[in-house]
Structure 1
């Protein structure tokens, strides 16, 4: 007897299915998945499919269904009914490209929603998109968040990420985690790690949390604690990460690259690898909230070029850790590691591409829906006044994010390399209100074009 791996969520998208790993499958494969979701033997699935398609030769159906089954088993999507150890299935590293090609960037619901359950925080990070506070400033109540979670489950959102602020300062976080888990959502917690001691970890896991994303923005206590505004945080983060690894829990580390850590960002790899962490994402800063006020935090073109050179060299030597590179313009990669190496990095899926408004969105502590959890004070609609589904389906901003291409952005449309660039932060014009021009590329891409204008400008 086979069934779907409990770690996998799936849903119909028209006549195709989408899995929580971002793999898309056609209708026939979808029907097979649906049958295995109810628990079935391969031969029973063959019989069921033959009844649905009586005009197709039985041997043809049997051959196709068994081939699909073998593929599903190989991908760990379908597992034995008796199996008790369920491995995570890796996410498709080219998810954003496939979502565009296979589903036209037009999903019926988000894949995941970042739930900013509080603006309160015990840190004072220089880049935070939320104006953190120690006070409850009109946050949604427990029941209101549960109503949102109900809708997320009803429209088949796959996962909820509880974030903030610092989500662990809210007294009902465990209750919300359990509620989301019981409604069938995969639950992750994004935290600065300060309150993540062994007791809290055990309570979160017991409530249903199955992934932890912890921030680490320096290879030294001086850098990290200064950036985060919380003395002692660096050592506490290392302690929390060690606990998570020792308990064999799924954990990733995210590091925001700024002028404060750009020269030691590569050393963060050693810090987290020594703790046993196997996933690290280096992300460039998003100019929203405090970061828009502290623009000195954004590294220069020269800073990024050196970082990419050092990062690539380090990544070729290190093993046992998957490092995601910052999403930077193709020209910076080509200047630092060369065109062939850049293509290799892209082909390996090592550069994260933004899915705001395409596969995900965020909900603020007061119920405002926005492109992502780095969007700052942006509202595309409030869940107290309209449903999440309505915002997802009708927002002009979401529609823009789903259709705008690199080649149409300013100044990328004048660049010879625009066809080689991955999309940057397409929501930045909405975040920092730059004259209302929604076609402006993010500031890093504009800086790149300005620095190499003579080389990059298309011939008129």
Structure 2
């Protein structure tokens, strides 16, 4: 969704092929936790999948390199449950990709972390959702906090400065009172970045999202608290569109918010399903095909790809239609927008909620532009 090369055809003509900037692979749906806020469908955690083999994953990596991909993100489930995880990291890096990963940190032996460190991943992210009792409640496991902290400490011990060590926290009603305590934990673990993530909406949630008013308050208060107490210790990152970033942290490293490469990206499920983004893997309508039946190039010749890429940023509705960050942001999370409004032209729902409540920063609105109402498409 770019306004310079507006159509799929223009992009292909320019590059000679459909470029992929980044990709993600769910290496497994298996997980050693059953977190209350997990957006992956609960039933899939107990489903036996015919997972992609090591060689099949290597083949995906080969294809991504040919398509110009630069960045690979691996997740799950819990990706470190795969016994071939080190081989996958090594193959990706030796193929020229930068690789990043997220983990719950529950069961990573020191020797494995030491091995992974030799591949020099771009980012190593561990989830910490509260102090001990809060985190263990959310994660449904009494050992999860101590194990995750241990993993962060081992990461700090073995990874060099080429790897960004991230502590990530998902914001929800169950931990909103505890967030301030996590700044100290991030310092004690010597992380490079403390990342705060809004709750991803899902039918399987067992937790409660915080209100829009609370998000507005917390984004601003947490930013000020960070500037006053921890600015020189590590970076802070809010995984939200740039229009929602508080002014106090806008000039920092991650002051532009979360910027997505959609639709120049691909998401792969552990069973071989392919979607433009791994967030769309949960929606059968957006699954483009399966690698066990076709190769990536054939799968990308798909009317759904054309439909997605035909939408330009100048067609986006709601707050996106008047936001000064539109060109940079490209409409925020397209998966969240579709899940809420059933339209690829809809705005990021978090930005829209802020706008509807009168909390969207008026300085970020272009007053000369006409607001386009959201047209919710019928199912």
TM category, shorter: 0.7 to 0.9
Instruction: Select which of 244, 247, 263 maps to 2:177.
Output: 263
Q: Aligned to 1:427, what secondary structure does the other structure show?
A: helix
Check if 1:140 corresponds to 2:52: yes
Cα contact 1:358–1:402 (8 A) shared by 2: no
Match of 2:355 in 1: 449
* Alpha-carbon distance in structure 2 between the residues aligned to 1:347 and 1:394: 40
- Please state how far the C-alpha of 1:364 moved relative to its aligned partner: 0.7
Q: Aligned to 2:68, what secondary structure does the other structure show?
A: coil
* Alpha-carbon distance in structure 2 between the residues aligned to 1:280 and 1:180: 26
User: Structure 1's 449 and 187: CA in aligned 2 closer, same or farther, altered over 3 A?
Assistant: closer
RMSD: 3.5
Cα contact 1:115–1:163 (8 A) shared by 2: yes
Instruction: Select which of 437, 447, 453 maps to 2:343.
Output: 437
Match of 2:139 in 1: 228
- Please state how far the C-alpha of 1:125 moved relative to its aligned partner: 1.9
- Please state how far the C-alpha of 1:240 moved relative to its aligned partner: 0.9
- Please state how far the C-alpha of 1:394 moved relative to its aligned partner: 5.0
Match of 2:240 in 1: 327
* Alpha-carbon distance in structure 2 between the residues aligned to 1:439 and 1:346: 30
- Please state how far the C-alpha of 1:116 moved relative to its aligned partner: 0.7
Q: Aligned to 1:292, what secondary structure does the other structure show?
A: coil
Cα contact 1:121–1:164 (8 A) shared by 2: yes
User: Structure 1's 253 and 389: CA in aligned 2 closer, same or farther, altered over 3 A?
Assistant: farther
Check if 1:314 corresponds to 2:219: no
Q: Aligned to 1:156, what secondary structure does the other structure show?
A: coil
Cα contact 1:221–1:234 (8 A) shared by 2: yes
Check if 1:245 corresponds to 2:153: no
CA offsets per residue over residues 150-205 of structure 1, 9 Å max, x none? 21233332232221100111222223223323333233332111122311112323
Count of aligned positions: 345
User: Structure 1's 371 and 252: CA in aligned 2 closer, same or farther, altered over 3 A?
Assistant: farther
* Alpha-carbon distance in structure 2 between the residues aligned to 1:141 and 1:449: 46
Match of 1:362 in 2: 267
Could you say which structure has the greater relative contact order, defined with CA pairs below 8 angstroms and 6 or more residues apart? 2
Match of 2:376 in 1: none
User: Structure 1's 221 and 373: CA in aligned 2 closer, same or farther, altered over 3 A?
Assistant: farther
Cα contact 2:135–2:144 (8 A) shared by 1: yes
Check if 1:382 corresponds to 2:285: no
* Alpha-carbon distance in structure 1 between the residues aligned to 2:6 and 2:259: 16
Match of 2:73 in 1: 161
* Alpha-carbon distance in structure 2 between the residues aligned to 1:329 and 1:181: 30
- Please state how far the C-alpha of 1:209 moved relative to its aligned partner: 5.1
* Alpha-carbon distance in structure 1 between the residues aligned to 2:267 and 2:4: 24
* Gap regions ≥5 residues in structure 2: 373-379
CA offsets per residue over residues 354-410 of structure 1, 9 Å max, x none? 4253443321111222243444513133233333345557564576368443x6444
